[in-house]
Amino acid sequence: MSSAAAPPAAVPATAARDRSVRATVAFAAAAMLVSYLPLSAVNGVLGTIGRGAGAGTGDLQWVVDAFTVALTGAVLAGGALAERRGRRRVTIVGLALTGLGSSVGFVAGGVSGVAGIRVLWVGQGLAGLGAGLVMSATLALVAATAPSPQARTRAIAVWAAANVVGLGAGPFLSGAITELAGWRWLFPPIVGCAALVAAVGAACSREVAGHRTGTRDRLGRLLGTAGIVVLVFGVIRGGSAGWHDPAALFALAAGVVALVAFLVVESRSEAPTLRPSLFTFPGFTAAAIAATVALFTVIGVVFAVSLVLAGAHVGDLAIAARLGCLFAGNAIASVLAGLVQTRYGSRPVLVAGLLVAVGGLVTLLSTDAGELAGMAGLSWRLALVGAGCGTVVATSTAVAVQSVPASLAGMAGTANSVVRQLGGALGPAVVGGVLSPHTVGTTGAVHACVVVLLVVLGTATLAVCGVLAAARR
């Protein structure tokens, strides 16, 4: 009697577990989407923000990089914090910081001149800290919640797609709101969304405890964060003041020294944030290179197109529509990549994404003045770039995690997120330096930026193919 009754009793338990997993993955994806809105929303209206404040390209670069640099630093600390304090709890704290940073952004819109841009930097930095905590905690939450390797791959694909959708939703939000009410009003909806997702997540998802560790690697995280911040500052300073500028040269040298010191400290730490030995796994190395250049390309293209179209007197909503094509291709491809990689494997899909992105940049080199200002001529080219980079973002985490032993999977996922965000921080820093000597609003400005992006992406694609080919021998 008891053995016959067991199977029916197991069915509700399995169904309840599946519902809990779906709710937790949905919470993680929604949190990731919302946490990216402060970055993506300002991307579409940088020209409007700059004109209203009388700000230059260097000031606008830090509107983006204050977020991405803070995010990168928080990712380094967020994984360990989530392990000690609980992954859902850290996600909610990250959403609170997202809301706080967006509130500061709203205040910045009421401060006139370049001073308002400085206040906006603070808000973007706070929001970036929140996004970094959300990114680390939700990735760990999704990986720990999934009941099988196949389910984990699907859940990570959903999580990565939320990254992409968050990047794509912002320009539409900001374009519509800015034309109706001014750019400061794009922030209150983000505050509301962050509060809603945090409340629903606290009520409907389950906590997943991590492994508490005694060593917290504070020195390593400090060196890593400082190295990234100073390096990005050096790139921005060099682009605006010239590469002979002493401050730029000192910052670049100091950034490299700090990052080398970070690797030395990590190699000797008992509980490192990032094990340098991860780079001895070819799949992880290939994924890290691909992830870095994917976000470098996306954020770089968005930064360039936003400023160039604004300089050509294209409206905010029209700019959002063009950028929306990039992000639509990004989002659709990331979802499809998550499905296709389960059949063909993550590595071939990763390489295919890189090749598509290279092809998209090549087509951008052929744009003339009419196509640049028009919707049809630019949209499909941006969609192609977005599709390639979306495929890379969706598969790089899976490649990184699958390429290392299970005990290092969490660290590999976090490291992949860190290098991806480093690429996102360097994108506007490098592109801004290219734009400075050119007249914003011209095809020459676009082509100059695309050439630089194409050289970086093409070189990285060759490197990824070489690393993966060598690993198969």
- Tens of pLDDT along 147-163? 677 777 777 778 877 87
Give the pLDDT of residue 370. Answer: 67
Highest mean pLDDT among 181-190, 368-377, 430-439: 181-190
**Is residue 458 very low, low, confident or very high in pLDDT (cuts 50, 70, 90)?**
very high
Q: Is 3's pLDDT higher than 60?
A: no
In tens, the pLDDT along 412-429 reads 887 888 888 888 888 887
Q: Is 8's pLDDT higher than 60?
A: no
Class of domain 10-205: mainly alpha
Q: H/E/C letters for each residue in the chain?
A: CHHHHHHHHHHHHHHHHHHHHHHHHHHHHHHHHHHHHHHHHHHCCHHHHHHHHCCCHHHHHHHHHHHHHHHHHHHHHHHHHHHHHCHHHHHHHHHHHHHHHHHHHHHHCCCCHHHHHHHHHHHHHHHHHHHHHHHHHHHHHHHHHCCCHHHHHHHHHHHHHHHHHHHHHHHHHHHHHHHHHCHHHHHHHHHHHHHHHHHHHHHHCCCCCCCCCCCCCHHHHHHHHHHHHHHHHHHHHHHHHCCCCHHHHHHHHHHHHHHHHHHHHHHHCCCCCCCHHHHHCHHHHHHHHHHHHHHHHHHHHHHHHHHHHHHCCCCHHHHHHHHHHHHHHHHHHHHHHHHHHHHHCHHHHHHHHHHHHHHHHHHHCCCCHHHHHCHHHHHHHHHHHHHHHHHHHHHHHHHHHHCCCHHHHHHHHHHHHHHHHHHHHHHHHHHHHHHCCCCCCCHHHHHHHHHHHHHHHHHHHHHHHHHHHHHHC
User: What is the rounded average pLDDT of the residues 304-327?
Assistant: 82
Residues 6+ apart with CB under 8 A from 375: 318, 321, 322
Give the pLDDT of residue 1. Answer: 47
Chain centroid to CA 161: 11
Spell out a b/e string for 432-467, using b for 16 or more CB atoms within 10 Å of the CB, else e.
bbbbbebebbebebbbbbbebbbebbbebbebbeeb
Q: Is 120's pLDDT higher than 90?
A: yes
Q: Is 5's pLDDT higher than 70?
A: no
With beta carbons less than 8 A apart as the criterion, state whether 213 and 84 touch.
yes
Nearest partner of 447 among 384, 372, 365, judged by Cα: 365
**Candidate from 42-51, 134-143, 369-378, 392-401 with smallest mean pLDDT:** 369-378
Q: For the chain, what are the domain ranges?
A: 10-205, 218-272, 274-473
Nearest partner of 183 among 100, 120, 114, judged by Cα: 120
Tell the CATH topology of 274-473: Growth Hormone; Chain: A; (1.20.1250)
**Is residue 335 very low, low, confident or very high in pLDDT (cuts 50, 70, 90)?**
confident
Q: What percent of the chain shows pLDDT beyond 70?
A: 90
Q: For residue 203, how many other CB atoms are within 10 A of its CB? A: 9
In tens, the pLDDT along 17-60 reads 667 778 888 899 999 999 989 988 888 788 888 887 777 777 88
Residue 319 Cα distances to 109, 215, 326, 428, angstroms? 20, 48, 11, 17
Query: How many CA atoms lie less than 13 Å away from 93 in the CB half-sphere?
Result: 15
Residue whose tokens read 């300073």? 237
Give the pLDDT of residue 321. Answer: 83
Give the pLDDT of residue 187. Answer: 93
Highest mean pLDDT among 18-22, 122-126, 167-171, 274-278: 122-126
User: What is the rounded average pLDDT of the residues 252-257?
Assistant: 94
User: In terms of pLDDT, which residue wins out, 15 or 453?
Assistant: 453
Q: pTM for the full model? A: 0.78
Q: Examine domains 10-205 and 274-473 and report if their fold is the same.
A: yes
User: In terms of pLDDT, which residue wins out, 279 or 163?
Assistant: 279
**Candidate from 66-70, 100-104, 283-287 with smallest mean pLDDT:** 66-70
Q: How far apart are CA 305 and CA 8, in angstroms?
A: 58
Q: How far apart are CA 162 and CA 28, in angstroms?
A: 9
Q: Is 373's pLDDT higher than 70?
A: no
Nearest partner of 421 among 63, 132, 20, judged by Cα: 132
Give the pLDDT of residue 143. Answer: 76
Give the pLDDT of residue 100. Answer: 97
Give the pLDDT of residue 330. Answer: 84
**Candidate from 10-19, 62-71, 126-135 with smallest mean pLDDT:** 10-19
Give the pLDDT of residue 17. Answer: 63
Q: Is 463's pLDDT higher than 90?
A: yes
Highest mean pLDDT among 35-49, 108-122, 172-186: 108-122
Residue 414 identity: T
Give the pLDDT of residue 214. Answer: 47
Q: How many residues does the chain have?
A: 473
Give the pLDDT of residue 217. Answer: 75
To the nearest whole number, what is the mean pLDDT of the chain?
83
**Is residue 268 very low, low, confident or very high in pLDDT (cuts 50, 70, 90)?**
confident
Q: How far apart are CA 145 and CA 457, in angstroms?
A: 34
Nearest partner of 357 among 330, 337, 324, 379, judged by Cα: 330
